[in-house]
């Protein structure tokens, strides 16, 4: 008996061997693919070099069930044992008691295979006497428990002697506590991060609840540095989480001799990755980066640089915590319970809103850059945090920042409360709650309802933020409504300047470059239309119109001047606010023309 992989699970495969008269011929049936079909030469050389006779007749190998595709080199060992037994050189009593896997080298050595842990779990479930597999895979299979015997072998000769009761093999045991103790070490620590206290606090909250995070900031502000240290403050993995994560890595052959994955995985794929590489795929689907980050962190640096069709496939995994891939051969489901941590610059040049660097991007460039990330995907990211540049004063501080151990203690305490709350359910943190759990555990009082309503209306949040699924329709607003809400719903850093023939709404803070929404009387668009309309605004001191662009200096009185550039057809104007809001209000109200300001 042997086994094959379907997704991250194993299913039993019965290896049948027939030796018949006729011309020498080797045939493998049962939908063998790839390396399984090429096993003849490896098996033949291994049998001869081990000292056994290879039957020089017509040979047929059947891998049952015959209607399921099978691939991989793990069938070499059971095929070789079947041929030796069919040639009456091996007792057949034990062949059905054990699950056997292994790739054979030409000299008869047994080499490592993929999927040792799923095979051991299958053997435990089907109550086999044990599993015989390469010694390199014995430790990962042993974490399945003491109820199943795991035997590691190094050669075909050793395996035959074991099945003939000529050699005693000691079952391999795994010390789970020792595995967890040795794995709970990290080379990185939050104490190495200077400044960014707000971002650290946001990551701590995200770690406590298992929430997704988006960090936005200029180059060099520490976004990647913070993300790489996030696993150091996540709670220790439970045994069930470690088994689920190790299964995925075992199927992909990424354990590298470790018994199991006992630390939170951190995966950071490059932005050139394909959609199949991210969520999994192929003719025989294999897990992707999302599944490899199961119960850990998936970090997408430079999020807008990923192809849009690639990051859009994350919608379902972030919602369902699993990935379903359908092919002609069938449908497979991979685990995908991850914390998504993404980082991006605010604009193509990276310095939009930076007070120390001038942004060279036009409003249209900024809009195109940010539109690469769709609203539905952003809606699934719970926490958006700004990561500003670190000041030199914070960089030179000798005071040691709070270490990861201290932060993890608070996170563990919060997770302990959540585990008690979700006792008896397959949930580990708040982010995994569904509509039923939200309604049961997140009751909101009247004051909270008013706050939620205010936040949803002013910030344009979707129905996902409301804990009561029955009231989501009432609070949900369309995307167009959210983007076109009136200035009265904006923050208190909004200033409206109303002249005799138009109104300009300024939104932003000192040193910030942001779009301005304008409500102007209908007029021809383009540079010609702008020439006719611009002089009617009383507060414009001078103008300079170029091809499809214009520079306008606004002077409220001598000595006060603000510069901004924009498109001549009124569809977007970028402003650099050089005054504080109070200073701007005082100076503009003292201007020698009619104006009004309101916030």
* Residue boundaries of the structural domains of the chain: 2-174, 191-390+399-409, 433-483, 487-589
pLDDT computed for residue 591 by the predictor:
36
d(CA 322, CA 334): 6
What are the strands of the beta sheet with 513-519, ordered from one edge? Answer: 494-498, 503-507, 513-519, 573-576, 562-567, 549-554, 540-546
What pLDDT score was predicted for residue 322? 92
pLDDT, position 505: 40
Taking CA 117 as the corner, what is the angle to CA 112 and CA 119, rounded to the nearest 5 degrees? 85
Closest CA to 102 of 140, 73, 141: 73
564 φ, ψ (degrees, to nearest 5) = -150, 155
**Structure token pair of residue 252:** 């992909």
Structure tokens at 446: 């009247």
* SS3 at position 449: helix
Q: Which residues, including other chains, have CB under 8 Å from residue 551's CB and lie 6 or more apart? A: 543, 544, 563, 564, 565
Tens of pLDDT, residue by residue, the chain (599 residues): 999 999 899 999 999 999 998 888 889 999 888 888 889 899 999 999 999 999 889 999 999 999 888 988 999 999 999 999 998 888 888 888 999 999 999 999 999 999 999 999 999 999 999 999 999 999 999 999 888 999 999 999 999 999 999 999 999 998 888 888 877 778 899 999 988 999 999 999 999 999 999 999 999 999 999 999 999 999 988 898 899 999 999 999 999 878 889 899 999 999 999 999 999 988 788 999 999 999 999 999 999 999 999 999 999 899 888 999 988 777 899 999 999 999 999 999 999 888 888 899 999 999 999 999 998 899 899 999 999 998 888 888 777 889 999 999 999 999 999 989 988 887 878 888 888 888 888 888 888 888 888 888 887 777 776 666 444 433 333 333 333 333 333 333 333 333 333 334 433 333 433 343 333 333 344 433 333 333 323 233 223 333 333 333 333 333 333 333 332 233 333 333 333 344 433 333 333 333 332 32
pLDDT at residue 589, as a whole number: 38
Contacts (Cβ under 8 Å, ≥6 apart) of 138: 116, 150, 151, 152, 172
The answer to whether the beta carbons of residues 155 and 50 sit under 8 Å apart is yes
Contacts of 171 (CB under 8 A, 6+ apart): 130, 142, 149, 150, 151
**Distance between CA 453 and CA 597 in Å, rounded?**
27
| Structure tokens belonging to residue 272 | 């050139």
* Distance, CA of 111 to chain centre: 32
The answer to whether 290 and 298 are in contact (CB under 8 A) is yes
**What is the greatest pairwise CA distance in the chain?**
110
Kindly report the number of other CB atoms within 10 A of residue 371's CB atom: 11
DSSP lists the bridge partners of residue 441 as none
pLDDT of residue 454: 86
Interatomic CA distance for residues 101 and 106, integer angstroms? 16
Question: Is CATH 3.30.230.10 what the domain over 2-174 is classified as, yes or no?
Answer: yes
Task: Specify whether the CB–CB gap between 458 and 489 falls below 8 A.
Answer: yes
Residue 182: CB partners within 8 Å, gap ≥ 6?
A: 262
The residue among 173, 138, 174, 175 whose CA lies nearest residue 153 is 138
**In this structure, what token pair is assigned to residue 312?**
């859009």
**Whether CATH 3.40.50.300 fits 191-390+399-409:** yes
């Amino acid at each position: 008996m042997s086994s094959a992989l379907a997704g991250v699970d194993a299913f039993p495969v019965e290896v049948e061997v027939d030796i018949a008269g006729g011309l020498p011929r080797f045939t493998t049936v049962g939908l063998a693919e790839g390396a399984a079909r090429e096993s003849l030469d490896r098996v033949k050389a291994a049998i001869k070099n081990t000292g056994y006779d290879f039957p020089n007749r017509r040979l047929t190998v059947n891998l049952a069930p015959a209607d399921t595709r099978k691939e991989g080199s793990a069938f070499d060992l059971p095929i070789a044992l079947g041929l030796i037994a069919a040639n009456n050189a091996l007792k057949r009593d034990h062949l059905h008691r054990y699950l056997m896997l292994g790739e054979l080298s030409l000299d008869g050595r047994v080499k490592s295979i993929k999927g040792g842990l799923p095979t051991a779990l299958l053997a435990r479930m089907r109550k086999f006497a044990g599993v015989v597999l390469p010694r390199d895979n014995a430790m990962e299979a042993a974490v399945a428990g003491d109820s199943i015997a795991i035997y590691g072998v190094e050669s075909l000769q050793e395996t035959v002697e074991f099945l003939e009761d000529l050699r005693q093999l000691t079952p391999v045991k795994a010390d789970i506590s020792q595995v967890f103790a040795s794995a709970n070490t990290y080379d990185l620590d939050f104490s190495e991060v200077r400044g960014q206290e707000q971002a650290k606090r946001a990551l701590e909250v995200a770690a406590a609840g298992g929430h997704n995070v988006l960090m936005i900031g200029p180059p060099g502000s520490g976004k990647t540095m913070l993300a790489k240290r996030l696993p150091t403050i996540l709670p220790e993995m439970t045994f069930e989480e470690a088994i689920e994560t190790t299964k995925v890595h075992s199927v992909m052959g990424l354990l590298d001799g470790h018994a199991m994955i006992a630390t939170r995985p951190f995966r950071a794929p490059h932005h050139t990755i394909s959609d199949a590489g991210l969520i999994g795929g192929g003719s025989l689907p294999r897990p992707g980066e999302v599944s490899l980050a199961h119960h850990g962190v998936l970090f997408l640096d430079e999020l807008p640089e990923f192809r849009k069709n690639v990051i859009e496939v994350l919608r379902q995994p972030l919602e369902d915590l699993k990935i379903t891939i359908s092919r002609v051969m069938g449908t497979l489901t991979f685990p995908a319970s991850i914390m998504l941590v993404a980082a991006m610059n605010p604009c193509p040049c990276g310095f939009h809103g930076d007070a120390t660097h001038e942004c060279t991007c036009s409003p249209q460039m900024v809009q195109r850059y940010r539109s690469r990330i769709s609203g539905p995907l952003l809606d699934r990211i719970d926490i958006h945090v700004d990561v500003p540049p670190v000041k030199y004063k914070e960089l030179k501080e000798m005071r040691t920042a709070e270490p990861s151990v201290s932060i993890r203690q608070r996170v563990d305490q919060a997770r302990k409360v959540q585990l008690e709350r979700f006792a008896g359910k397959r949930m580990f943190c708040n982010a995994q709650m569904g509509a039923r759990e939200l309604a049961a555990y997140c009751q909101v009082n009247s004051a909270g309802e008013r706050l939620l309503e205010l936040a949803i209306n002013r910030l344009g949040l979707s129905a996902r933020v409301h804990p009561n699924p029955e009231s989501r329709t009432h609070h949900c607003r369309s995307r167009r409504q959210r983007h076109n809400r009136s200035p009265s719903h904006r923050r208190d850093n909004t200033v409206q300047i109303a002249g005799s023939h138009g109104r300009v709404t300024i939104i932003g803070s000192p040193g910030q470059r942001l779009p301005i929404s304008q409500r102007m009387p209908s007029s021809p668009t383009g540079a010609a239309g702008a020439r006719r309309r611009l002089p009617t605004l009383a507060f414009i001191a001078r103008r300079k119109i170029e091809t499809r662009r214009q520079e306008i200096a606004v002077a409220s009185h001598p000595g006060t001047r603000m510069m901004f550039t924009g498109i001549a057809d009124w569809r977007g104007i970028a402003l650099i606010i050089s005054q504080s809001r109070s200073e701007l209000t005082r100076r503009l109200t003292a201007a020698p023309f009619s104006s009004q300001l309101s916030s």
